Amino acid sequence: MAVDLKTADEIKKMRVAGRLAAEVLEMIEPYVVVGISTEELNQICHDYMVDVQKSIPAPLNYHGFPKSICTSVNQVICHGIPSEKKVLKNGDIVNLDITVIKDGYFGDTSKMFGVGDVPFHAQRLMETTQIALFKAIEIVKPGTRLGDIGHVIQQYAESNHYSVVREYCGHGIGTEFHTDPQILHFGRPDTGMVLKEGMTFTIEPMLNAGKPHTKLRKDGWTVETRDGRLSAQWEHTLAVTADGVEVLTARNEENF
């Protein structure tokens, strides 16, 4: 597994791309309301990226993906395709996954949004998934191993009676969308690749309210829970620094 270690100049460029991706999530939040379609959210994000940021929406035409963002509602785990027919309802939860390309470098991040009055059980799933991501980020530094990251997520998820999706994972990122290493969200401590300064990758845990099993819709993209229970996901792009980690896609509401 060949892992590309980034120079300070490369991380500087990734910092710009990461900030732009974060800004899309900050911009779109007021629009995530009852009655809006996921296609409308896609169009607002697309126009902002292209016209305001002068960035490129990375998902658009990526291996044939037809839209500029992913919109995963309720039981959809990831890669939901925006649609005029999918209108957000009161109580829905939705993940918006944003990836931009700026000056050849990728920034990749996602966030859960609650629509209207969200039931407690759905809110708890979203919050637990976000905390699992935060716990993983806290241990990222040179010398940490990939199994440590997966273990801390799995342990926290399962202690809260949620399951971890196995088939989809975080990934290396830079001038390409998906590279090595793969970042599994389950695992055993003190196993796997050792992190080094200059590594850049995403952590993006997907937790299910029910069982971990998934199914792929006929569209070839949309991944759902097989049992129809809710799923949640949060994602950040990270850079391993000399003594810790930098969250390249941090939003203003977060404190890293």
pLDDT score of 139: 98
Q: Quote the pLDDT of residue 2.
A: 79
Amino acid 237: pLDDT: 98
Confidence band, pLDDT 50/70/90 cuts, at residue 185: very high
The model's pLDDT over 37-50, given as tens digits with 9 standing for 90+, comes to: 999 999 999 999 99
pLDDT tens for 59-114 read 999 999 999 999 999 999 999 999 999 999 999 999 999 999 999 999 999 999 99
Domains of the chain: 8-247 (3.90.230.10)
- Give the global pTM: 0.97
**Cβ partners under 8 Å of residue 93, min gap 6:** 73, 74, 112, 113, 114, 115, 118, 122, 125, 126, 230, 232
The pLDDT assigned to 121 comes to 98
Model pLDDT, residue 17: 98
pLDDT at 58: 98
- Give residue-wise pLDDT tens across range 146-165: 999 999 999 999 999 999 99
Question: Which of 99, 167, 83, 161 minimizes the C-alpha distance to 128?
Answer: 161
Cα radius of gyration (the chain): 17
pLDDT of the residue at 256: 87
pLDDT at 1 over 90: no
Q: 181-211: b or e for each residue (b if 16 or more CB lie within 10 Å)? A: bbbbbbbeeeebbebeebbbbbbbbbbbbee
- Rounded percentage of the chain residues whose pLDDT exceeds 70: 100
pLDDT of residue 208: 98
Contact of 212 with 165, CB cutoff 8 Å: yes
